[in-house]
């Protein structure tokens, strides 16, 4: 059984940082603040950001902010160190944690039937779920993922365990159980639409019980995709959404050719998937549409008008089955919300840095195939998708995603230089990041981290002001 618990106390001590802070203001604007003084209050919120602050002014700012100077904890960041916002993973299947990287050569529907459903079935055992989910969530935090939108298995109890674990470990999360009452093996299918809906409502109640204000963990309706849901089930989910304006929704959307063809056969009366999901009341500003590869022109306008966000999962869409390139440039051009998803376990990596690098590769391919009409993503755009863009997709950009006074402090402390090795050999990078040289600018160091750094460079992970990386 899932445990009965409440939100752990999130108050801590106030803390301040002095040094380089890097974040996105929007998709086109990267802000690099040097000599930045940033105070996090004891509620884990950003109390003050003072740009271009000489070190001699710090004590004055501490006093102005209501604290006692000299004893107030200020962390001074060295050269090669900086703060960035925490990464947001907008699409992740927690019960596929143990199958990442498996089944590369198969189409989507074959991969689900041959590899995935058998793995997800194991989560009928809540004890197994607890072990596997604990490892999965801890690994995400280690990689600097401060918010994740999780698909659970179809099991209500195991998915409650996933919500419990996110709360225990302190990760910000959306947690949903997959709805699926047809077109999967009989040993991995819900008995009926009513049963699926009942378990969904039960999960929502559990998540809201353990975190009543939704400070860390929130429920999300998760029709796996229309193929596995009959009309009664989709209608029932739409009813839940209509009666619960706070509920989030996530599903797979125009992901692969075989999936789209099968969906058309099952729902011939709908023009396309946007029409279908909208008919059942499942498209809105709190909807996360994973993949969104092959949209028709009016489908793009449709999801834009509904305010839906897109979880771009470049690793799974270029390694599973055929190579698929979502039109991310077009979505950004139209002001549609886009974030990055690892799509564990279709995606082999739970690192948003890896997802971002693959997004660069896919966008480069798209630039070539479009003969330059869709320019490749720039570095600052990839970083935006990994942070603020993801927060927008999840509808939490008012609270996190970048550094603004009043927002919660979800942040990563990045170190790129290993001081000891640097003294020994003169180019002592921390981990495998490209060596930092004496004349490197902050911009260069930032790019070296984004393109070649890994979790060894993420030395601290703060969620709501608490340091969580162990
Ligand atoms: Zn997926």
The residues near 348 (Cβ < 8 Å, ≥ 6 apart) are 100, 101, 315, 319
CA of 376 to the centre of ligand 1 (A): 24
Dihedral, 402, 405, 409, 410 alpha carbons, nearest 10: -10
Across the chain, mean pLDDT equals: 94
Which of 95-109, 267-281, 374-388 is the least confident region?
Answer: 95-109
CA of 144 to the centre of ligand 1 (A): 20
CA of 252 to the centre of ligand 1 (A): 6
CA of 310 to the centre of ligand 1 (A): 12
CA of 290 to the centre of ligand 1 (A): 7
User: Taking 90 as the threshold, does the pLDDT of residue 366 lie above it?
Assistant: yes
What is the average pLDDT across 117-122? 96
- Tens digit of pLDDT for each residue in 167-215? 999 999 999 999 999 999 999 999 999 999 999 999 999 999 999 999 9
- Tens digit of pLDDT for each residue in 304-337? 999 999 999 999 999 887 788 999 999 999 999 9
CA of 126 to the centre of ligand 1 (A): 22
Domain residue spans of the chain: 15-85+402-467, 87-393
CA of 151 to the centre of ligand 1 (A): 8
d(CA 132, CA 126): 10
d(CA 359, CA 38): 31
Domain 15-85+402-467, CATH among 3.40.718.10, 1.25.40.10, 2.30.40.10, 3.90.1150.10: 2.30.40.10
The reported pLDDT for the residue numbered 425 is 59
CA of 311 to the centre of ligand 1 (A): 9
Query: Percentage of the chain surpassing pLDDT 70?
Result: 96
User: Taking 50 as the threshold, does the pLDDT of residue 5 lie above it?
Assistant: no
CA of 334 to the centre of ligand 1 (A): 24
Report the residue count for the chain. Answer: 470
The reported pLDDT for the residue numbered 12 is 64
**87-393: what fold?**
TIM Barrel (3.20.20)
d(CA 192, CA 240): 17
What pTM did the predictor assign?
Answer: 0.96
CA of 381 to the centre of ligand 1 (A): 23
Check if 15-85+402-467 and 87-393 are the same fold: no
| Model confidence band, residue 9 (pLDDT cutoffs 50, 70, 90) | very low
CA of 345 to the centre of ligand 1 (A): 8
CA of 225 to the centre of ligand 1 (A): 9
CA of 179 to the centre of ligand 1 (A): 13
What is the average pLDDT across 152-158? 98
């Amino acid at each position: 059984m899932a445990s009965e618990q409440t939100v752990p106390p999130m108050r801590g001590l106030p803390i301040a940082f002095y040094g380089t802070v890097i974040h996105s203001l929007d998709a086109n604007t990267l802000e690099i603040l040097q000599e930045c003084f940033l105070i996090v209050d004891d509620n884990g919120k950003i109390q003050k950001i003072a740009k271009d602050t000489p070190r001699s002014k710090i004590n004055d700012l501490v006093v102005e902010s209501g604290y006692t100077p000299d004893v107030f904890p200020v962390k001074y960041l060295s050269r090669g160190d900086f703060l960035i916002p925490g990464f947001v993973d907008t699409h992740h299947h927690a019960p596929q944690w143990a199958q990442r990287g498996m089944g590369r050569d198969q189409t989507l529907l074959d991969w689900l039937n041959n590899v995935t459903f058998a793995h997800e079935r194991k989560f009928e055992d809540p004890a197994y779920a607890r072990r596997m989910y604990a490892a999965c969530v801890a690994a995400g935090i280690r990689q600097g993922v401060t918010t994740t939108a999780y698909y659970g298995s179809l099991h209500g109890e195991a998915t409650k365990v996933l919500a419990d674990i996110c709360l225990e470990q302190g990760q910000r999360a959306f947690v949903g159980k997959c709805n699926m009452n047809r077109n999967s093996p009989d040993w991995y299918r819900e008995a009926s639409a009513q049963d699926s809906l009942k378990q969904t409502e039960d999960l929502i109640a559990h998540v809201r019980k353990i975190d009543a204000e939704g400070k860390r963990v929130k429920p999300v309706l998760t029709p796996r995709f229309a193929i596995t849901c009959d009309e009664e089930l989709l209608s029932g989910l739409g009813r839940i959404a209509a009666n619960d304006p706070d509920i989030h929704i996530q599903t797979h959307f125009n992901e692969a050719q075989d999936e789209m063809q099968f969906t058309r056969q099952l729902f011939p009366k709908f023009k396309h998937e946007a029409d279908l999901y909208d008919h059942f009341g499942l498209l809105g500003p709190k909807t996360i549409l994973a993949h969104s590869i092959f949209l028709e022109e009016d489908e793009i306008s449709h999801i834009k008008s509904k305010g839906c966000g897109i979880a771009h999962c470049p690793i799974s869409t270029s390694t599973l089955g055929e190579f698929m390139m979502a039109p991310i440039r077009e979505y950004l051009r139209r002001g549609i919300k886009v974030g990055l998803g690892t799509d564990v376990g279709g995606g082999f990596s739970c690192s948003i840095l890896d997802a971002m690098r693959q997004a660069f590769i896919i966008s480069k391919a798209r630039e070539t195939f479009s003969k330059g009409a869709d320019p490749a993503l720039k570095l600052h755009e990839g970083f935006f998708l990994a942070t603020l863009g993801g927060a927008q997709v999840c509808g939490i950009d008012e609270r996190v995603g970048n550094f603004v006074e009043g927002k919660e402090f979800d942040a990563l402390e990045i170190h790129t230089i290993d001081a000891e090795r640097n003294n020994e050999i003169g180019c002592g990078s921390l981990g495998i990041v490209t060596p930092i040289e004496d004349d490197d600018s902050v911009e260069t160091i930032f790019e070296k981290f984004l393109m070649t750094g890994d979790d060894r460079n993420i030395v601290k992970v703060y969620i709501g002001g608490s340091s969580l990386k162990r």
